[in-house]
Structure 1
Amino acid sequence: MHKERVEKVLSAMQQQHISQMIISDPASIFYLLGKWIHPGERMLVLYLSLEENHKLFINELFPVHEDLGVDKVWFKDTDQPVTLLAQHMEGENVVGIDKNWPSHFLLTLMEHKSDCNYVNGSLLIDQIRSVKDSLERDLMRKASSFNDTAMGSIIHLLSSTHTEKEMAQKLLAIYEELGTEGPSFDPIIAYGANAADPHHGPGNGILKEGDSIIIDIGCKHASYCADMTRTFFYKSASEKAQKVYNIVKEANARAISIIKPGVRFCDIDAAARSYIEEQGYGKYFTHRTGHSIGIEVHDFGDVSAVNTDSVAPGMIFSIEPGIYLPGEFGVRIEDLVLVTEDGCEVLNKFSKELSVIG
């Protein structure tokens, strides 16, 4: 058990008058206990209470025998785990429920414990997870370093004889050779007109001279996710392509330049978006400027026009403006940034200068 993290959750529970928490999200359980358990359709619950009556409810199918700092309550497939959970819970109180807990578990619990008041407790943990401690920051730095190395390796393999899909397969081999835990998400490798689709899945596309190449990749290190995007050009880049690239690069820089504690996420988004709009490409920047990241590649929180929350030291999120011209090409440049006490640290060191390869 990460005692300091659990204490933060308990303190937040007390402030929000939540006496009990039912946590089922495997990522949040890993965050608090340091152990991944993937239960599938079976119930898995970390139960926390202000009375320190903490329990981990777990199916005997999962051989978790190490001491996790919390009492385990085992059950079999033939047992009624929600009934077991209800028997261990306290009386009339406010219960925080994980937003991802299946409704058939929740509805059954509400029948057993109709005297409790149920609220969405996920935001409480999400906000705590959004501020990384020193250990998490170091793991994110290392994951990003691995990703920088992988980017350098993959671009040297690009050629007109390899499809997007084949390059994605080569990337997996690179991650394995580096000793990572594999990809943190399905890689995006897109050539030419395919790069105008922000979420293009690698297919049978082949490089042609003048194509833009979007490479959006991420690996995992010690359960923490990296994410970075770079755009290259194959053999040549037209004047229009160079212009668009430099607009996106400047938008990326402008957003990063204003990041410091107290700045709102929406203002960071505006720093990138307003510049792209000024240059006449606003309607081609079709997504938010970034997302939070950590144990999950998309943690709680984002860099968007509607997020008025302020950034705080320890937060890590992406800055990834893009311009996508249908039928022509796309450009995206993405870095991960860590908010510091007086600014931010860019975790990715791979060059963002316009690069023509091949």
Structure 2
Amino acid sequence: MNNQRLKKILKDMEVNNLSQMLVSDPAAIFYLTGRWIHPGERMLALYINLNGNNKLFINELFPVHEDLGVEKVWFNDTQDAVEIVSRYVDKEKPMGVDKNWPARFLLRLMELKGGSTFVNGSSILDIARAYKDDQEKDFMREASRLNDMAVEKMIKLIPEKHSEKKMGQILGTIYEELGAEGFSFDPIIAYGANAADPHHGPDNSIVKEGESVIIDIGCVKDSYCSDITRTVFYKYASDKAKEVYNIVLEANKRAIETVKPGVRFCDIDAAARNYIETEGYGKYFTHRTGHSIGIEVHDFGDVSSANTDIVEPGRIFSIEPGIYLPGEVGVRIEDLVLVTEDGCEVLNKYDKELTIVE
């Protein structure tokens, strides 16, 4: 177990009057143990307790034999795994359970421990993971460096007129060649009118002259995620398309300039949104300005009008305003930012000025 991270979790549990917790989210277990375990439909749970009686409940199917700094409690497919967990749970004290534990396991534990109090303990781990340590920052920088290289290669491929779907397939090879561990999310490659759908699924469309091309991609390196979006134009861009692009670019820059300790996430969202609204395209900016990122591409927390939390050093999140005109053009520009003591570090370095690909 990562003792420094565990100590922080235990301290926050104590502050929240929570003496025991079950962690089932594989990403959270990786955060604490350094080991990925993907259980599928089988039960996986890390039990942590202020008294130090920590246990990792794991199916014998998974060959996790190295020392993870926590005692392993094994079970097999014919045993009642939750009943085994129940032997260690203190019925007299509230039990924290993370939000991802399947109901079939939670309901069984509630049945076995009738009268026990169960609470959502996810926020404790979510908040801890939101603040990146020095090693995590370096991992995120490297993942973003590789992603910058990948988006450059993708843009250079546009004149070859591959379909959106084929571009996504090529991206997998690019990531492999760069030494990445795979996709952090399914890539979004969108030409022309398709680019007006923020979450367009790549299809067999072929780029046409004058169309915008949205490339929204991310890779994983050292188990940490990257995410970047660049929009370019093939052969030429109409005056309206250029106008939309420059408005989104300015919104992106204004939001980034707002990022520093002490501001609220909603203030960053407003910096982008208010400018787009002032320019007359407010109703075409249909999503939040950004999301947190780390071990998962969508970590806890976002950059939205509803998030009044204060920005603090160590947080990493995206800034990705967009304008989507149905049937015409879509533009999104996304960078990841790391909050520093006096501002932010932009993790993506690839150029974002208006680009026409010949």
TM-score (norm 2): 0.99
For structure 1, which runs of at least 5 residues remain unmatched after alignment?
A: none
Q: How far has the Cα of 1:52 moved from its partner?
A: 0.5
**Structure 1 residue matching 2:111: 3-state secondary structure:** helix
Q: 1:325 maps to which residue? A: 325
Deviations 1:317-345 (A, max 9, x none): 00000000000010000000000011000
1:165-180 alignment runs, 5 A limit: 165-180=165-180
Contact kept? 1:20, 1:94, Cα under 8 Å:
yes
Q: 1:190 maps to which residue? A: 190
Q: 1:233 maps to which residue? A: 233
Contact kept? 2:25, 2:101, Cα under 8 Å:
yes
1: CA distance, partners of 2:92 / 2:218: 45
Choose 157-166 or 263-272, whichever is displaced more. Answer: 157-166
Contact kept? 1:160, 1:206, Cα under 8 Å:
no
Q: 2:151 maps to which residue? A: 151
2: CA distance, partners of 1:315 / 1:62: 33
Q: 2:247 maps to which residue? A: 247
2: CA distance, partners of 1:268 / 1:161: 37
2: CA distance, partners of 1:327 / 1:160: 24
Specify the code of the residue in structure 2 equivalent to 1:235.
Answer: K
Q: 1:61 maps to which residue? A: 61
Q: 2:11 maps to which residue? A: 11
CA RMSD, Structure 1 to Structure 2 (Å): 0.8
How many percent of aligned residue pairs carry the same amino acid? 67
Q: 1:134 maps to which residue? A: 134
Deviations 1:89-126 (A, max 9, x none): 22400110011111111111112222421100001110
Deviations 1:149-185 (A, max 9, x none): 0011111111263111111111111001001001110
Specify the code of the residue in structure 1 equivalent to 2:276.
Answer: I
TM-score (norm 1): 0.99
Specify the code of the residue in structure 2 equivalent to 1:172.
Answer: G
Contact kept? 1:160, 1:207, Cα under 8 Å:
no
Q: 1:202 maps to which residue? A: 202
2: CA distance, partners of 1:329 / 1:238: 10
1: CA distance, partners of 2:28 / 2:183: 20
Q: 1:27 maps to which residue? A: 27
Q: 2:211 maps to which residue? A: 211
Contact kept? 1:33, 1:68, Cα under 8 Å:
yes
Contact kept? 1:318, 1:335, Cα under 8 Å:
yes
Q: 1:270 maps to which residue? A: 270
2: CA distance, partners of 1:325 / 1:192: 10
Superposition misfits of 4+ residues, deviation over 3 angstroms:
none
**Structure 2 residue matching 1:262: 3-state secondary structure:** coil
- Work out whether 1:113 is the aligned partner of 2:116: no
1: CA distance, partners of 2:190 / 2:44: 39
**Structure 1 residue matching 2:216: 3-state secondary structure:** strand
For structure 2, which runs of at least 5 residues remain unmatched after alignment?
A: none
1: CA distance, partners of 2:201 / 2:108: 40
Contact kept? 1:248, 1:276, Cα under 8 Å:
yes
Q: 1:287 maps to which residue? A: 287
Specify the code of the residue in structure 2 equivalent to 1:102.
Answer: P
1: CA distance, partners of 2:298 / 2:259: 19
Contact kept? 1:211, 1:329, Cα under 8 Å:
yes
2: CA distance, partners of 1:23 / 1:291: 23
Q: 1:306 maps to which residue? A: 306
2: CA distance, partners of 1:354 / 1:40: 44
Q: 1:89 maps to which residue? A: 89
**Structure 1 residue matching 2:299: 3-state secondary structure:** coil
- Work out whether 1:346 is the aligned partner of 2:319: no
Specify the code of the residue in structure 1 equivalent to 2:28.
Answer: S
Contact kept? 2:159, 2:357, Cα under 8 Å:
no
How many correspondences in the alignment? Answer: 358
1: CA distance, partners of 2:226 / 2:348: 9
Specify the code of the residue in structure 1 equivalent to 2:18.
Answer: I
